[in-house]
Structure 1
Amino acid sequence: MDKLTLILDPTDEFVWTPDTCHKVYAYFQELVDHYEGAPLSEHTLRLNWLRY
């Protein structure tokens, strides 16, 4: 099974509100859902993530 993990801010450089975290994770999930059935890789998601 393919798995991707999103680590939002591993060094705690920024202050993230719960609402902001939710928006980022929701958009990440949209990208994962959009590519369902396609090869799941960081590169595939990054193609659309940078358009956000």
Structure 2
Amino acid sequence: MTQEEVASAYGVNVKTYRRWEKGQSPVPYDDLCAICADIFALDLFNLRGMADAA
């Protein structure tokens, strides 16, 4: 997905989403969890487990 598609699907301004991706602005934890779960169908706890196993 493009940044524009993710921002639109989540309902935030694309400039805000770009700043989050570039690390220029912190992503609120609730937003991060919601984007991972609702947009990408990812569970942060499973991702953490994968990172720990690597």
TM-score (norm 1): 0.30
Greater RCO between the two (CA within 8 Å, min separation 6)? 1
TM-score (norm 2): 0.29
The structure in which a higher percent of residues are helix is 2
